[in-house]
């Protein structure tokens, strides 16, 4: 069975007693790479983001904190004036040895981080240590735990993790212990992009299948309330006629429409994939072609990138799995028109937060137990057991396109609930008639007295 079934059934049950939960806006995180002086990149989002993660906290060769000039009191103050949460990200910028020295310098590095948080009135920190391996898994987890123990009260600790749609336990993906990091941190940010990247064959950067399978895997180990999903504001391009040219380099999506219009671009839309493909023909004698300041040799190039519809399809996945929110890499790489729809699409369906304690009326509890029993009677009791999550999610990855079956099953359950409700209603009405007849016949003269007598005998 698919995890979609669990999700849909859960929504069905929650609908019955929706009054006992509260809806709230999702987290909308924007990574700010480079200078923090251009506040237009923040202001043009029109309030669509509520958290910002600037690149301010680097590492030196010994694994100590290297504070960059991007972090200033003025920047933090201006973000707070705009109502934004500021959580700079700590990065090794893909340097493996630097990352290893950092996580093995847990005590000293964590002290340095906490000092910066207090000195600059930051709202927390995002740990973004990448390009490690399964050999570093425990050390990375330990570093995050040491930092958590020292974090000032009320400050956020979040962690970036690699997307892992196939459940790999080795390599870069294997360096992240989803379950433990999810328990320690306030949330994990899943980098659901670079499905195809530098040096790989051409293909989408973040297809919907890749993204959704990554979320399904994560939900085995981490609550939906602790998952923030990544959306790339960049694409990648490949030279079709030059094998020596570095494949899969990045291009910001804001630049792609101009490249298409200037260089005879042919666009292919793949709605089911959730990403768009363009082919451009470069002839520098006619029109010079540069990407990231580098002139491209003549020839044809394939670009995979996100259009507005593709971005909306990613936001739909956030809503589908009722995740805590999403984060974009990175602010300034997008077309400004993205922000016209971003907030509304992200919050299209109200987020229902899971709470450890929910105050509900006794009748609501009984209703929940009643509907849960019906669902179990449909033969899917194991879906409710925590220890079955792994099996369910693995099957979901293999059968991720069975939407029709899901709908049929939910319709059947809904029909059973409806029929059962009718039976309960009829039984209740019959009992009322029997009681009324008893009163009319003088058999029962004081129902409350009889009930009280029964209770006294019971005790």
Question: Is 9 part of any domain?
Answer: no
Number of domains in the chain: 3
Residue 315: which H helix or E strand, with range? helix 308-320
Q: How many CA atoms lie within 13 A of 320 on its CB side?
A: 18
Question: Is 189 part of any domain?
Answer: yes
Per-residue pLDDT band for 432 (boundaries 50, 70, 90) equals: low
> Average pLDDT of 213-233?
98
CATH of the domain at 244: 3.10.50.10
- State whether 227 and 298 are in the same domain: no
Question: Is 15 part of any domain?
Answer: no
Per-residue pLDDT band for 353 (boundaries 50, 70, 90) equals: confident
Domain stops at, among 289, 305, 321? 305
- State whether 288 and 186 are in the same domain: no
Per-residue pLDDT band for 292 (boundaries 50, 70, 90) equals: very high
- From the candidates 24, 61, 130, 354, which is the catalytic residue? 130
> Average pLDDT of 360-371?
46
> Average pLDDT of 45-59?
97
CA-to-CA distance for 304 and 308, rounded, in angstroms?
Answer: 13
CA-to-CA distance for 220 and 178, rounded, in angstroms?
Answer: 9
CA-to-CA distance for 190 and 228, rounded, in angstroms?
Answer: 6
Question: Is 168 part of any domain?
Answer: yes
- State whether 250 and 275 are in the same domain: yes
Q: What confidence score (pLDDT) does residue 234 get?
A: 98
Choice among 111-115, 246-250, 324-328, 448-452 with the minimum mean pLDDT: 448-452
- State whether 241 and 147 are in the same domain: no
Q: Is the pLDDT of residue 61 over 90?
A: yes
Q: Determine the straight-line distance between the first and last CA of the chain, rounded to whole angstroms.
A: 47
- Tell whether the torsion through CA atoms of 442, 444, 447 and 453 is positive or negative: positive
Per-residue pLDDT band for 458 (boundaries 50, 70, 90) equals: very low
CB proximity list for 86: less than 8 A, separation 6 or greater: 51, 52, 53, 54, 75, 76, 79, 80, 122, 123
Chain center to CA of 457: 56
DSSP H helical ranges for 36-177: 40-43, 73-81, 96-103, 106-119, 137-150
Contact 352, 23 (CB under 8 A): yes
- State whether 261 and 394 are in the same domain: no
Q: What confidence score (pLDDT) does residue 430 get?
A: 64
Question: Is 11 part of any domain?
Answer: no
Among 39, 50, 235, 149, smallest CA distance to 141 is for 149
Question: Is 8 part of any domain?
Answer: no
- State whether 134 and 267 are in the same domain: no
Q: What confidence score (pLDDT) does residue 258 get?
A: 97
Question: Known catalytic residue: 130?
Answer: yes
- State whether 65 and 190 are in the same domain: yes
CB proximity list for 64: less than 8 A, separation 6 or greater: 105, 108, 109, 112
Domain that holds residue 437: 362-458
Contact 144, 181 (CB under 8 A): yes
Question: Is 7 part of any domain?
Answer: no
- State whether 177 and 63 are in the same domain: yes
- State whether 157 and 218 are in the same domain: yes
Coil vs helix vs strand at 18: helix
pLDDT, one tens digit per residue, over 123-180 is: 999 999 999 999 999 999 999 999 999 999 999 999 999 999 999 999 999 999 999 9
- State whether 337 and 423 are in the same domain: no
pTM for the full model? 0.77
Q: Is the pLDDT of residue 413 over 80?
A: no
- State whether 150 and 78 are in the same domain: yes
Per-residue pLDDT band for 448 (boundaries 50, 70, 90) equals: very low
Q: Is the pLDDT of residue 412 over 60?
A: no
- State whether 215 and 66 are in the same domain: yes
Question: Is 14 part of any domain?
Answer: no
Q: What confidence score (pLDDT) does residue 162 get?
A: 98
């Amino acid at each position: 069975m698919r995890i979609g079934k669990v999700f849909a059934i859960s929504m069905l049950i929650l609908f019955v007693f929706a009054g006992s939960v509260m809806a709230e806006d999702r987290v909308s995180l924007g990574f700010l790479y480079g200078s923090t002086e251009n506040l237009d990149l923040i202001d043009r989002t029109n309030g669509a983001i509520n958290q910002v993660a600037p690149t301010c906290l680097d590492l030196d060769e010994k694994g100590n904190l290297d504070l960059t000039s991007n972090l200033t009191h003025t920047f933090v103050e201006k973000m707070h004036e705009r109502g934004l949460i500021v959580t700079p990200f700590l990065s090794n910028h893909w340097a493996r040895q630097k990352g290893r020295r950092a996580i093995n310098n847990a005590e000293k590095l964590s002290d340095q981080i906490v000092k910066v948080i207090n000195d600059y009135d930051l709202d927390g920190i995002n740990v973004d240590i990448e390009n490690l391996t399964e050999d570093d898994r425990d050390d990375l987890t330990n570093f995050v735990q040491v930092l958590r123990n020292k974090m000032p009260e009320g400050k956020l600790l979040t962690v970036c993790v690699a997307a892992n749609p196939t459940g790999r336990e080795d390599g870069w993906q294997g360096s992240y212990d989803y379950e433990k990091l999810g328990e320690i941190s306030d949330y994990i940010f899943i980098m659901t992009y670079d499905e195809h990247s530098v040096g790989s064959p051409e293909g989408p950067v973040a297809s919907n299948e890749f993204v959704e399978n990554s979320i399904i895997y994560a939900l085995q180990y981490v609550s939906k309330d602790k998952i923030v999903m990544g959306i790339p504001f960049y694409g990648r391009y490949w030279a079709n006629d030059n094998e020596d040219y570095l494949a899969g380099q990045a291009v910001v999506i804001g630049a792609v429409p101009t490249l298409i219009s200037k260089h005879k671009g042919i666009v292919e839309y793949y709605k089911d994939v959730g990403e768009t493909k363009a082919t451009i023909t470069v002839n520098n004698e006619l029109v010079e072609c540069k990407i990231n300041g580098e002139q491209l040799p003549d020839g044809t190039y394939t670009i995979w990138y996100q259009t507005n519809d593709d971005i909306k399809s990613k936001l739909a996945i956030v809503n589908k799995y009722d995740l805590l929110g999403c984060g974009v890499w990175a602010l300034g790489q997008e077309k400004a028109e993205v922000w016209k729809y971003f907030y509304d699409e992200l919050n299209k369906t109200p987020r229902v937060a899971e709470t450890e304690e929910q105050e509900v009326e006794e009748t609501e509890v009984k209703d929940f137990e009643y509907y849960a029993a019906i669902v179990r009677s449909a033969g899917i009791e194991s879906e409710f057991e925590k220890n079955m999550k792994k099996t369910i999610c693995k099957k979901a990855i293999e059968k991720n396109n069975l939407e029709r079956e899901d709908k049929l099953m939910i319709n059947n359950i809904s029909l059973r609930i409806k029929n059962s409700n009718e039976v309960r209603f009829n039984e209740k009405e019959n009992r009322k008639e029997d009681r009324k007849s008893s009163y009319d016949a003088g058999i029962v003269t004081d129902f409350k007295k009889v009930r009280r007598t029964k209770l006294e005998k019971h005790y």
